[in-house]
Structure 1
Amino acid sequence: MTTDLSPTPQHPWQDGQRWKTLFAAIWTGQAFSLLGSQLVQFSLIWWLTKETGSATVLATATLVGQLPQILIGPLAGALVDRWNRRVVMIAADGGVALSTLWLVTLFAVGAADTPHVFLVLMLRSTGGAFHWPAMQASTSLMVPKQHLPRVAGFNQMLSGAINIVAPPFGALLLKALPIEQVLAIDIATAAIAIAPLLFIAVPQPDPEPDRAGSGRPGVLHDLAEGFRYAAHLPGLMTFFGVAIVVSFVFFPAIALIPILVTDHFGGEALQLAWMDSAWGIGIVLGGLTLGVWGGFKRLMDTAGFGLCGQGIGMAVVGMAPASGFAIALGGLFFTGFMFPITNGPLHAILQLNVAPSMQGRIFTLMNSITSAVTPVSLLIAGPVADAVGVRFWFALAGITCLLCSTTALFFPPLRNLEADMQADTALREQIQAAQPT
């Protein structure tokens, strides 16, 4: 016999309003941890910039920070689905804090060097490769289903707000304090994130059943099972394909904003700050809107609507003339506003419809494939923008998002993804319930 931990009113987490208090405590702790992580990221990148002045070093730092997500992400997801997710989150936060503490000590004694920073960036990324899927997969068991899209919206809002606040806050702190004291803030925020997890039980999914009494298969089998799960649902593979295409054109465009400001609009640091603020404020307001609204009844319709809006916003930025900086500013704000309305529902679709025991693998699979394409697209986008102008890439991103939104709204395998995944999960639960205990 199995114990159903899906988000139903019978589960203790959904007893009246109790789930709100419990989840708010964990969510608030994670918000502090995210702020500390962003401060560390800003501080270390700035230190590398000041110490080396090398674009190669900065590019290497970016690559070092992405590699663990790309290379070990799927394996981390398989392990998250096997292990206690609360313990994973505590260990990930604690491990990241310990790596920061080591670097704080090196800075304090004047022994820190570029390789040390690279190592810490890699260790922090490794911790994130475990923490992010554990939190995402646990959310579906902590939050009632009808509230998952709203929680996804608030998560997007939080991410946007921290991206706005952390850089100037970090800059102010670095002017007032030595870098080791700024980095030490991350240790304190990690403690704040760990504290509620020590006292609040995070619900766990049922473990996968033994096969013919031979014991649970190994982690490599679980990893392969995650790939098979995605492969046998055409809509989910289309989902991943669209995510790859959008990531390929969208994130290089965001990275090229400084070139757009200087080369096309003839702007300076102030104009770049306005663009960054427009993007960040748009994300905050879009996340807040989704958090209050919750989206359309069909989450894929919400995501398709958001992606269409992203495409329109990017196209406006790309078509703005040299004298139309205000037009580009508005287009980027609108793009930022639509960004969480696209991504929040996509995360909620997976949380709602993927079997809880499979969510860690599916989340990390999605994250790995979209992260893997980014370095390649950046290598292509730079020369293309140099050759034909940076506006071309923004226009390309806009048109691509518009085409992909049409796929999300009208291509049957993707449009019917939610229903297909629900049917598959129900079938899996029936098979699991029939297994002998």
Structure 2
Amino acid sequence: MKTNVWRSEKWMLPFFIIWGGQVLSWVGSRVAMFALIWWLTDKTGSATVLASATLAAMLPQIVLGPIAGVYVDRWNRRLVMIAADGLIALVSLWLAILFWTGEIQVWHVYVIMVVRELGGMFHWPAMQSSTSLMVPKEHLARVAGLNQAINGALSIVGPALGALVLAVGEIHHAMLMDVITAVLAITPLLFVFIPQPERAQRDAETKPSVWTDLREGASYVFHWRGLMILTGMALVFKIALTPAFSLLPLLVKSHFDGEAPQLAGMQAAFGIGIILGGLLLGIWGGFKPRILTTIASITAIGFLLIILGGLPPAFFMAAVAVMFVSGAAVALCDGPLFAALQSTIAPEIQGRVFMIFISLVNLTGPIGLAIAGPVTDWAGIQLWYIVAGVLCAAMGIAGFFIPAVVNFEDNRPASVSPLPMPAASD
């Protein structure tokens, strides 16, 4: 693969031009999502509504994510990102009009979340796999740490701007801000070159079907024993953690008797933690092997959730502190894992592998939401945080004693071959 030019100092300018545009888009998306979630919370006050809204956003990725990965590997990734950002801008504009005219209904928000997720499930693997081609392998962990730090900053800026927009303006202004930032993200993609992976020689000769490409990606994942065990652990982690974060607005409102500023404060503390955790990862790089940093962070997140669930209503500032430390743990959890995947998986198959992994992990998110909504409406929201913490802590501790997980980077598949299933045509 002829990508030596991207293995010098020349990689920085084109990468960070594109990356900067994406950061602006993330700001708009955070503002819009904060406004939408708070609107649902204020209008319904129901854990079931919040859980089902998150579920609606997750379903497209679970069902269609692996197929999206196939097309990301086939198509020009720059054009994929342009189309995805454009779709998000259009649906946000539609939602702004609905809010402005007073025609908005709860189901409209559900539809918007689904469509935004459809765009995101193409955009995310395209950006991740492009990063592995534009950034030298030795710098991938640092870029991952920088991404975590920026996500932390956006966790502060997004809720703060969202609360400000709701305080001095209307919710349709938040939607319009999302439209503007999406356009700003598209602009550099129109001019900056992104290297594309070369398809295998047999692909040029035989032009495999979508089903064959999907089988190849699945084979790569299922024959990587360490990744499969790690995926199983992530399934349990996801079923416990998804409701804990989705129902945070209700924890603030019903347990701590807070409002939008208090929710923004907790999310800001979480974001500051992510910033510091990401910066630490960028400087330190994590344990060797890198997965040990991820496992230790999962364990820490579990104990922090137990503490959060056990705090009495008067200890709101303690909850803010817990969210701060949790943010640092999340940064140290995600960054090393995806840096390891980017540096070990061949670029021409990364779209499929990333989306198969993410889809499998997200498969259990709806299960957690389906259980958590009615349970918290009936038994109280704190119970879920305690149960989720116990599950995460136990899973993290177990990970230290599984050699296939600890050494998973060294045991990856040497090649890609389809699973023995009957082929299907497009």
State the TM bucket, normalised to the shorter chain: 0.7 to 0.9
Matching residue within 338, 361, 364 for 1:370: 361
Indicate whether 1:307 and 2:292 are aligned.
Answer: no
2:244 counterpart letter in structure 1 = A
CA contact (8 A) 1:407 1:414 kept: no
Q: Secondary structure at the match of 2:193?
A: coil
Could you say which residue in structure 1 is the equivalent of 2:192? 200
Structure 1 residue 238: Cα displacement: 0.6
Report the Cα distance in structure 2 between the residues aligned to 1:263 and 1:176, rounded to whole angstroms: 25
* Structure with max Cα Rg: 1
Maintained 8 Å contact 1:316/1:327: no
Percent sequence identity is: 45
SS in 1 for 2:356: helix
Indicate how the Cα distance of structure 1 residues 312 and 351 shifts in structure 2: closer, same or farther if over 3 A, else same: same
More off after superposition, 146-155 vs 311-320: 311-320
- Per-residue deviation at 1:230? 0.9
Which residue pairs with 1:143 in the alignment?
135
Task: Name the Cα RMSD after superposition.
Answer: 3.0
Determine the structure 2 residue equivalent to 1:158.
150
Cα shift readout 1:215-254 (whole Å, capped 9, x = no counterpart) = 1211121112211111111111111111111111123233
1:285-324 matched pairs, under 5 angstroms: 285-320=276-311
Cross-structure match for 2:410: 419
Decide whether aligned partners of structure 1 residues 111 and 406 sit closer, same or farther in structure 2, where only a CA change above 3 A counts. Answer: closer
| Counterpart selection for 1:68 from 60, 72, 93 | 60
Q: Which residue of 2 aligns with 1:223?
A: 214
Asked if the contact 2:51–2:246 (Cα under 8 Å) also holds between the matched residues in 1, the reply is no
The separation in 2 between residues aligned to 1:54 and 1:320, in whole angstroms, is 22
Q: What CA distance in whole angstroms lies between the structure 2 residues aligned with 1:86 and 1:133?
A: 11
Distance of 2:245 and 2:410 partners within structure 1: 34
Stretch of structure 1 that moved more, 370-379 or 384-393: 384-393
> For residue 224 of structure 1, what is the amino acid of its counterpart?
R
Code of the residue aligned with 2:134 in structure 1: it is M
1:317 and 1:329 in contact (8 A); partners too: no
Q: Say if 1:26 and 1:412 are closer, same or farther in 2 by CA, change over 3 A.
A: same
Question: Match for residue 340 of structure 1?
Answer: 331
* Residue ranges of structure 2 left out of the alignment (5+ in a row): 418-426
Provide, for residues 305-352 of structure 1, a one-character-per-residue CA deviation record: whole Å limited to 9, x for no partner.
Answer: 222322332333345566655554433322221111011111111111
Give the number of equivalent residue pairs. 416
Q: Which amino acid aligns with 2:7?
A: Q
In the TM superposition, residue 418 of structure 1 has moved relative to its aligned partner by 0.4
CA contact (8 A) 2:46 2:377 kept: no
- Helix, strand or coil: the match of 1:396? helix
**Corresponding residue of 1:84:** 76
Mapped to 2, the partners of 1:328 and 1:383 lie a distance apart of 24
SS at match of 2:207: coil
Q: Within 1, Cα distance between the matches of 2:135 and 2:403?
A: 29
**Deviation of the 1:128 alpha carbon:** 0.4
* Deviation for aligned residue 1:286: 1.3
**What is the CA distance between 1:292 and its match in structure 2?**
2.5
Shift of 1:184: 2.2
Going from structure 1 to structure 2, the CA distance change for 1:409 and 1:12 (only over 3 Å counts) comes to same
- C-alpha distance in 2, partners of 1:389/1:52? 17
Residue 194 of structure 1 aligns to a residue whose secondary structure is helix
**CA drift at 1:13:** 2.0
Query: Alignment partner of 1:129: what SS?
Result: helix
Distance in 2 (alpha carbons) for counterparts of 1:319 and 1:102: 42
Greater relative CO, 1 or 2 (CA 8 Å, sep 6+): 2
- What is the TM-score with the length of structure 1 in the denominator? 0.84
Superposition map of 1:397-412 within 5 A: 397-412=388-403
CA distance in 1, matches of 2:59, 2:309: 31
Instruction: Give yes or no for the alignment of 1:18 onto 2:10.
Output: yes
- Residues 58 and 362 of structure 2 are in contact (CA less than 8 Å); yes or no, is this contact kept in structure 1? yes
Distance 2:371 2:230 in 1: 23
Q: For 1:410, what is the secondary structure of its paired residue? A: coil
Alignment pair present for 1:246 and 2:237: yes
Instruction: Report the CA distance shift for 1:380/1:57 in structure 2 as closer, same or farther (over 3 A).
Output: closer
Q: How far apart, CA to CA, are the structure 2 residues paired with 1:263 and 1:179?
A: 23
Mapped pair 1:93 → 2:85: yes
Per-residue CA deviations over 1:384-429 (Å, capped at 9, x if unaligned) read 55676655433433333333223433311111210112xx34x559
- CA distance in 1: counterparts of 2:37 and 2:318, whole angstroms: 31
| Native 8 Å contact 2:155 2:268 kept in 1 | no
Q: Is the 8 A contact 2:151 2:271 kept in 1?
A: no
Contact 2:219 2:416 (C-alpha < 8 Å) held by counterparts: no
Bigger drift between 357-366 and 390-399 goes to 390-399
Q: Which digits, 9 at most, give the CA deviation of each residue in 1:162-195, with x for residues without a partner?
A: 2222223123224444444432222221122112
CA 1:292–1:107 in structure 2 vs 1: closer, same or farther (change >3 Å)?
same
Alpha-carbon offset, residue 274 of structure 1:
4.6
CA 1:402–1:108 in 2, change beyond 3 Å: closer, same or farther? closer
Change (3 A) 1:178 1:317: closer
Q: Which moved more, 1:340-349 or 1:322-331?
A: 322-331
Answer whether contact 1:236 1:417 (CA < 8 A) is retained.
Answer: yes
Alignment partners' CA distance in 2, 1:123 and 1:380 = 24
Show the counterpart of 1:433: none
Q: Which runs of 5+ in 1 are unaligned?
A: 6-10, 430-437
Distance change >3 Å, CA 329–CA 189, structure 1 → 2: closer
For residues 414 and 35 of structure 1, do their structure 2 counterparts lie closer, same or farther at Cα, with a shift above 3 Å needed?
same
> 1:388-399 alignment to 2 at 5 Å?
390-399=381-390
CA deviation digits over 1:87-123, x for unaligned, max 9?
A: 1111111122123334445555665555544433322
1:12 partner letter: V
